[in-house]
Structure 1
Amino acid sequence: MSDHNVFKLAQPGSFTDSLTDILREGARALLAQAIEAEVADFLAQHATLKTENGLQRLVRHGYLPSREVLTGIGPVGVRQPRVRDRQASPTEQVRFRPSILPPYARRSKSLEVLIPVLYLKGISTGDFAEALSALVGQDAPGLSASTIARLKQVWSEDHARWQKRDLSAKRYVYLWADGIHLEARLEDQAQCILVLIGATPEGKKELVGFTDGLRESAHSWRDLLLDLRRRGLAAAPEIAVADGALGFWKALGEVWPLTREQRCWVHKTANVLNRLPKSLHAKAKSALQAIWMAETKKDALAAFDAFTQTYRIKYEKAVDCLVKDRDALLAFYDFPAEHWKT
């Protein structure tokens, strides 16, 4: 995790999944640190081995060529360190046999759902070992107590530094909020990550903040927003984008009352389609897309009215679900056109 978690904006006509970018970067960082910790542990175990000249016999010796591990969130680039035995003959050579990469690669689905837990729980509690074991396998030799201790210290310091970073020089024009429920169950209840992603005036998307909490809880979102403000994020975003069901909206109105609301079209489309027969989904989805893809707000309003007229008589609940957030769904048309599809 760095002070500058920057992600490219989407191209017009597409939705990006910035959370996937965040998870992929987290996966890369976790894997790199786990590999480094395993090598350090191996060298520490053989620290008593010396050459005839009294030098350390086993030393690091660069890296193998970079490779990609295919995971459920896309390819993750890794580099495996080399270890050199400076004295032994080939038959007596002490070899470093990495254990983390092979089992990790076979468990990519676990990586996809557990990386966020490592940020939220594993760094600061004893659950780190449990989460990492789920990634690489319970019996992976690389998961020694000392390896876990090294990883935990690195991630604890990294996470604490990031969570305390000064935000006084930051300004975000746009803010995206979402609450992500995890499939991983390290407790009796599933964890939820409250995530905020912001876009700067220069057009860079950055991870602004995250914490664990309740998706529908205004209190959980308020704590996150107030923490950002306490660390210097004084300027309110011009507009915030989120699902209508979030407790985020109440919290936003209390912390930054002047920020405009933009409902998320991805969530709204899913909600509307859930109130229609499956046989109409393709047609209705295309009609909904015609609204938010319209070239002007006038055209969007026309497409909006066309949808309501088409489905009102037979599917009133679906239309009501759309109409109740009409203004919030079209708020983005009051901002520069080049930003509409980001």
Structure 2
Amino acid sequence: MDNSSNENVINLEQPSDMLTDLIRNHARQLIKEALELEVAEVLQEFQERRLADGRQAVCRSGYQPEREIQTGIGPVPVKVPKIRSRDGQPESFNSALVPPFIKRTRSLEAAIPWLYLQGISSGNMCTALEALVGPEAKGLSANTVSRLKQQWSDEYNVWRQSDLSKDEWVYIWADGIYSGLRAEDEKLCVLVVMGVNQRGEKHFLAIEDGVRESTQSWQEVLLKLKNRGLKKAPKLAIGDGAMGFWAALDKIYPSTKQQRCWVHKTRNVLNYLPKKSQSKAKEMLHDIWNADTKKDAEKAFDLWIKVYQDKQLKAAQCLEKDREELLAFYDFPAVHWQSIRTTNPIESAFSTIRHRTKRAKGCLSRVTMLSMIFKVGMCAESQWRKLRGFESLAQVIRGIQFKDGVELNKKEQKAA
């Protein structure tokens, strides 16, 4: 690595204990200030989201438990701020400075792909890693990083051909991830499928490049999954309505029920409304998917259409066209509703990539982009918990019918 890149680096290999403590305390304060600025920017995005009484719908909610992150001067304790939603739509703060799956591990396997996707070149990787994970990165050359990238590319190629037939995949989520990065001459999208098996374990099933709106791209993804052993149709698929995924799903897994993501739908509907109308309209949308029964949800749905269809026809049409698919979750266990109403399980894993505003200098090759995103995804997956209420998946697999989230009795099953 070029020695010029280290001209301004102070050697702290053997500082006195007092000096070490002084520097570490200063680092802790700097990280705290940076995190406070970061969470303040996130809250600013929700400034116009208000409750009926005028209070902010999204607010601060203390801190995550204190944990240590590794730095070039050793471990530094940090407390990452939390936010919470008061209006029923879940929100969380994912720090780009201290991503959840980075701060929990000292492993270079987590740090290098994340830094690479942030636009840090192989030549500058060592300096960045020493700041992030400490002495473990010392002496890491650009050639070593390149060899690791090749190793992870090989791992990705093995993973994308792995056998899926040993498990039954009950629910799947699908989304297209635009990272802001350019692969060669065009901006590519990463098509992601995630699934939950009969034991409630969540795993990524596919990470492939393609065109988000293309039925052909998604059909290729689903056919590969089928060839790898996902032959039995999942009970439910969750995704955004603007993808070619649904047409492909109808061809490959026609019996799979469809659930549109309420977060995406809310965003799309509100885009048709003037800002002054969005807060009230959003609150009324929440009344739909927060209803305890499908009947009550239908009433709230009809009310929303009635209120907005005359003056905001496009918004009403955007909502109405997916009515059946937006309310599909009522036919599944209530304990699963929070997970199956949105594509948040995928979104949260890639939030620090998706939300980038600055593009990396230069271009990533297609292979590098996919293998790096794969590695970030695997690091995130290793931290996942089982699906809440996974015990109810057995009834879903057996075809037990649910109404308003409650299992029907035998008599009701026959009548249905």
Matched, 1:271 2:263: no
* Cα gap change, 1:200 to 1:131, in 2 (>3 Å): farther
Take 1:73 and 1:66, find their aligned partners in 2: how far apart are those partners? Answer: 12
* Cα gap change, 1:145 to 1:204, in 2 (>3 Å): closer
How is 1:108-187 mapped onto 2 (pairs within 5 angstroms)? 111=114, 114=117, 132=122, 144-187=141-184
The match for 1:280 among 277, 282, 287 is: 277
Q: Report SS of the residue matched to 2:169.
A: coil
Take 1:220 and 1:241, find their aligned partners in 2: how far apart are those partners? Answer: 17
Instruction: List runs of 5+ in structure 1 lacking aligned partners.
Output: 1-27, 32-63, 82-100, 118-129
Matched, 1:321 2:346: no
Q: Report SS of the residue matched to 2:297.
A: helix
Aligned counterpart, 2:232? 235
Q: Which amino acid aligns with 2:270?
A: L
Take 1:294 and 1:144, find their aligned partners in 2: how far apart are those partners? Answer: 56
Aligned counterpart, 1:79? 106
Take 1:134 and 1:312, find their aligned partners in 2: how far apart are those partners? Answer: 55
Shift of 1:201: 2.8
Q: Report SS of the residue matched to 2:234.
A: coil
Provide, for residues 11-36 of structure 1, a one-character-per-residue CA deviation record: whole Å limited to 9, x for no partner: xxxxxxxxxxxxxxxxx9xx9xxxxx
Deviates more, 1:69-78 or 1:255-264: 69-78
Of structures 1 and 2, the one with the larger relative CO (CA 8 A, separation 6+) is 2
Q: Is the 8 A contact 1:176 1:240 kept in 2?
A: yes
Aligned counterpart, 1:50? none
Take 1:245 and 1:153, find their aligned partners in 2: how far apart are those partners? Answer: 34
Take 2:183 and 2:126, find their aligned partners in 1: how far apart are those partners? Answer: 16
Aligned counterpart, 2:11? none
Q: Is the 8 A contact 1:111 1:135 kept in 2?
A: no
Q: Is the 8 A contact 1:273 1:284 kept in 2?
A: yes
Aligned counterpart, 1:214? 211
Aligned counterpart, 1:262? 259
Aligned counterpart, 2:308? 311
Take 1:112 and 1:253, find their aligned partners in 2: how far apart are those partners? Answer: 38
* Cα gap change, 1:201 to 1:314, in 2 (>3 Å): same
The match for 2:221 among 224, 233, 248 is: 224
Shift of 1:306: 1.2
The match for 2:291 among 294, 298, 316 is: 294
Provide, for residues 35-58 of structure 1, a one-character-per-residue CA deviation record: whole Å limited to 9, x for no partner: xxxxxxxxxxxxxxxxxxxxxxxx
Take 1:257 and 1:153, find their aligned partners in 2: how far apart are those partners? Answer: 38
Take 2:174 and 2:107, find their aligned partners in 1: how far apart are those partners? Answer: 36
Q: Is the 8 A contact 1:168 1:233 kept in 2?
A: yes
Aligned residues: 245
Q: Which amino acid aligns with 1:210?
A: I
Shift of 1:72: 4.4
Aligned counterpart, 2:335? 338
* Cα gap change, 1:137 to 1:273, in 2 (>3 Å): farther
The match for 2:243 among 241, 246, 257 is: 246
Q: Is the 8 A contact 1:66 1:78 kept in 2?
A: no
Take 2:115 and 2:269, find their aligned partners in 1: how far apart are those partners? Answer: 28
Provide, for residues 313-342 of structure 1, a one-character-per-residue CA deviation record: whole Å limited to 9, x for no partner: 211111111111111111111111111111
Take 2:121 and 2:116, find their aligned partners in 1: how far apart are those partners? Answer: 10
TM-score by length of 2: 0.52
Q: Which amino acid aligns with 1:155?
A: W
Q: Is the 8 A contact 1:226 1:255 kept in 2?
A: yes
Take 2:252 and 2:217, find their aligned partners in 1: how far apart are those partners? Answer: 13
Q: Is the 8 A contact 1:175 1:198 kept in 2?
A: yes
Identity of aligned residues (%): 46
Q: Report SS of the residue matched to 1:179.
A: strand
Take 1:336 and 1:264, find their aligned partners in 2: how far apart are those partners? Answer: 17
Shift of 1:203: 2.5
Take 1:147 and 1:210, find their aligned partners in 2: how far apart are those partners? Answer: 25
Take 2:123 and 2:319, find their aligned partners in 1: how far apart are those partners? Answer: 44
Provide, for residues 179-211 of structure 1, a one-character-per-residue CA deviation record: whole Å limited to 9, x for no partner: 011112242221211000112233332211110
Take 2:279 and 2:271, find their aligned partners in 1: how far apart are those partners? Answer: 12
Shift of 1:225: 0.8
Q: Is the 8 A contact 2:206 2:221 kept in 1?
A: yes
Q: Is the 8 A contact 2:123 2:142 kept in 1?
A: no
Take 2:141 and 2:267, find their aligned partners in 1: how far apart are those partners? Answer: 45
Shift of 1:173: 1.3
Take 2:286 and 2:327, find their aligned partners in 1: how far apart are those partners? Answer: 12
Q: Is the 8 A contact 2:189 2:209 kept in 1?
A: yes
Q: Report SS of the residue matched to 2:338.
A: coil
How is 1:44-63 mapped onto 2 (pairs within 5 angstroms)? none
Instruction: List runs of 5+ in structure 2 lacking aligned partners.
Output: 1-68, 81-94, 131-137, 340-416
